[in-house]
């Protein structure tokens, strides 16, 4: 499944030239990932409350292709590409109409809330994430 999330670029998201400030793409991507998990019936707050673990960004590979500008509507496509014992890899693609703007590969690690140490993804969550990407 590819989850679609749209947002409008506001003045606060841009630099003095009206172009989205580079670090804001990470915030946009975070919102889109949270909504993708929510659409799976797996909101992050539930993972924390039921299992005492959370997903943390372990690695980001980000490729800027074209700038987004003030007042444009951009679409972020989020797709789970790999689920491991304690990690999830997600690809996110930013679009303005048919123009590719930014591509991210994000590695999330599952960590214990109490001490931040790595933890296995709870079995029920791993099943949901794997079924979403067609992995068994």
Q: For residue 101, with 0-12 CB atoms within 10 Å meaning exposed, 13-18 middle and 19 or more buried, which class applies?
A: buried
Q: What stretch of H or E contains 26?
A: helix 24-39
pLDDT per residue, tens digit, the chain (136 aa), is 899 999 999 999 999 999 999 999 999 999 999 999 999 888 889 999 999 999 999 999 999 999 999 999 999 999 999 999 999 999 999 999 999 999 999 999 999 999 999 999 999 999 989 886 655 4
Which residues belong to the active site?
15
Specify the DSSP class assigned to residue 121.
P
CA distance 94 to 96: 7
* Nearest to 39, CA basis, from 62, 5, 69: 5
| The pLDDT of residue 133 | 61
Cβ(93)–Cβ(103) under 8 Å? yes
Q: What is the pTM of this model?
A: 0.91
Which of 83, 86, 18 lies closest to 51, judged by CA? Answer: 86
Q: Is CATH 3.30.450.40 the classification given to domain 3-133? A: no
Domain boundaries along the sequence of the chain: 3-133
Strands 3-8 and 53-64: unpaired
């Amino acid at each position: 499944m590819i989850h679609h999330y749209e947002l409008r670029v506001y003045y606060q998201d841009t630099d003095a030239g009206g172009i989205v400030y580079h670090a804001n793409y990470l915030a946009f991507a975070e919102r889109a990932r949270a909504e993708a998990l929510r659409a799976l019936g797996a909101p992050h707050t539930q993972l924390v409350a039921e299992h005492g673990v959370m997903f943390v960004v372990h690695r980001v590979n980000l490729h800027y292709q074209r700038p987004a500008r003030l007042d444009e509507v951009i679409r972020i496509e989020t797709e789970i590409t790999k689920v491991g014992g304690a990690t999830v890899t997600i690809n996110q693609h930013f679009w303005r109409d048919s123009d590719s703007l930014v591509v991210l590969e994000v590695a999330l690690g599952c960590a214990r809330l109490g001490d931040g140490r790595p933890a296995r993804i709870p079995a029920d969550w791993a099943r949901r994430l794997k079924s979403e990407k067609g992995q068994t």
